[in-house]
Amino acid sequence: MHYSLSDIFALADQNSHQLKVSQVGIEKADRAVRVAKDGKLPVIESFLGGSYIGNQTLMSRGFADASSVATPHWGNAMTLEIKQSIYEGGSITGAITLGELESQLARLQHEQNKQEVRFTLSSWYLSLCRLCNEEKIYLSSKHQAEQLLEQMRACFEQGTVLKSDVTRYRLYLKDIEIELEKIQNQQTTLNYYLLTVTGLPSHIKIQPDESYPHAEAKVTGDTEWQQEVNLNSFRIKTARKEEAIFFQQIENARSAKRPSIYLWASESLQGPIVSAMPPINKNLNNWQLGVGLRFTISSFYTANKKVRLHESAWRQSKENLQLTIDREQMEVNEAYLKWTESVNQLKVREEYKELADENYEVVSERYLNGLAIVTEMLDASTEQLSAELKLANKRIEIYYNYSRLKKLAGLL
């Protein structure tokens, strides 16, 4: 079946297990944000219990003259406490901000994975295009060689061609058949790869769009591509987001040195009242409202160590960001030069193919007229086949380098 590269991309977006993993990572990060936001909600705790209370023992301070005091045996307890945070030193908002940054990072990593998957698919798809072209070229060369071989056999029967010439050309045909089998096996392998990632049924044989490698790749100058990569590269965006995450971790560590303020309310019902003497077999209810202030004194000498630890990680992330930018710029520069080189060489390959065809016609004519030896004929055939293959591969190479530039810029 015929599938365009855009069809392959769309199927991979739906069925690629690699992309599904990162998609679940986004869901996980979003849930972590919702969990962090729950820190703003009031904390409500309740307790309901029953107990059996034994008789109390009354004794002197010297543990003498012990006597038993009758106590109501069945006890009950119910408490309800509500605590609402007002200020936590920035730890709650910091946790929410950190969660949101990690959610954004998960989305960037998913988009980066999508670019990586699409570039891999482009490579396989273009390789499949190349192999299909090579198969056609070899089949055409085989047909041409078979026609020449028939003419050589006719000349051999007339005594104008040696049997060794016929044998050597038959060997040439066998070499073509061997190469055809290799190409077909490679096509089967690439087809399997594409089916695995796209989720298509295993019986389908993908036929690539033959016009795709011949599409004009519109590439601007090197400077424009550098700017495009700096703005849109998902690797650079990811490195920037990681730097922001490490910086937020510094702020979260600093929040430990700040006090927390909260409101609280409680309701308690207990019975019997065993603190009285004698115990009173009644329920005692009380409620309270208050404001609390909590401060961890040990944070003065523990929090700074955590802050310095996160500051080191942040500085490392800044260096990693610059390293990522440098690598992306070097890679886009290399890809642009490769694209320019392949475009410039295409015209040369087209001219080379024309010369190889002319040479084959001339040598073939001379050979059939007894003016050339079989070695010249084989050289001309081999050169013509090589010229056709290199021309077809050069067209594929142009679009491969174009796809590489688009992947670096996050546009694939």
pLDDT tens digits, 240-269: 999 999 999 998 888 888 888 989 899 999
Evaluate if residue 217 carries a pLDDT over 60. no
Per-domain residue ranges for the chain?
2-41+88-259+302-408, 43-54+69-87+260-294
Q: Is the dihedral of CA 391, 394, 396, 398 positive or negative?
A: negative
| DSSP annotation string for 127-173 | HHHHHHHHHHHHHHHHHHHHHHHHHHHHHHHHTSS-HHHHHHHHHHH
Evaluate if residue 151 carries a pLDDT over 90. no
As a whole number, mean pLDDT of residues 137-146 equals 83
User: Residue ranges of the alpha helices (H) in 161-233?
Assistant: 163-198, 222-232
**The one-letter amino acid at 338:** K
Evaluate if residue 393 carries a pLDDT over 80. yes
pLDDT digits (tens, 9 = 90+) for 337-364: 988 888 888 889 889 988 998 888 888 8
The pLDDT value given to residue 155: 75
> What are the strands, taking DSSP E only, across 280-339?
284-294
Evaluate if residue 148 carries a pLDDT over 80. no
Beta bridge partners of 51: 75
The pLDDT value given to residue 216: 53
The pLDDT value given to residue 146: 81
The pLDDT value given to residue 124: 92
Q: Which two tokens stand for residue 22?
A: 């990162």
Average model confidence (pLDDT) across the chain: 87
The pLDDT value given to residue 25: 93
Q: Calculate Rg over the CA atoms of the chain.
A: 40
Evaluate if residue 228 carries a pLDDT over 60. yes
Counting Cβ atoms within 10 Å, is residue 49 exposed (0-12), middle (13-18) or buried (19+)?
Answer: exposed
159 vs 318, higher pLDDT: 318
pLDDT bracket for residue 190 (50, 70, 90): very high
pLDDT bracket for residue 214 (50, 70, 90): low
pLDDT bracket for residue 120 (50, 70, 90): very high
| 8-state DSSP, 282 | S
The pLDDT value given to residue 213: 54
Whether residue 249 contacts residue 311, with contact meaning beta carbons closer than 8 Å, is answered with: no
Q: How many CA atoms lie within 13 A of 128 on its CB side?
A: 28
Beta bridge partners of 47: 79
Q: Which H or E run includes 271?
A: strand 260-271
Least confident of 226-230, 313-317, 327-331: 226-230
Q: Is the dihedral of CA 172, 174, 176, 182 positive or negative?
A: negative
pLDDT digits (tens, 9 = 90+) for 23-34: 999 999 999 999
pLDDT bracket for residue 108 (50, 70, 90): very high
CATH code linked to domain 2-41+88-259+302-408: 1.20.1600.10
Evaluate if residue 316 carries a pLDDT over 90. yes
| pLDDT-above-70 percentage for the chain | 97
As a whole number, mean pLDDT of residues 204-223 equals 70
Evaluate if residue 406 carries a pLDDT over 70. yes
pLDDT bracket for residue 212 (50, 70, 90): low
pLDDT bracket for residue 219 (50, 70, 90): low
50 vs 217, higher pLDDT: 50
Residue closest to 110 by CA, chosen among 102, 122, 121: 102
pLDDT digits (tens, 9 = 90+) for 273-311: 887 878 888 888 999 999 988 888 888 888 888 899 999
**The one-letter amino acid at 139:** L
The pLDDT value given to residue 160: 63
The pLDDT value given to residue 374: 73
The pLDDT value given to residue 113: 92
Least confident of 87-91, 106-110, 316-320, 339-343: 87-91
Evaluate if residue 157 carries a pLDDT over 80. no
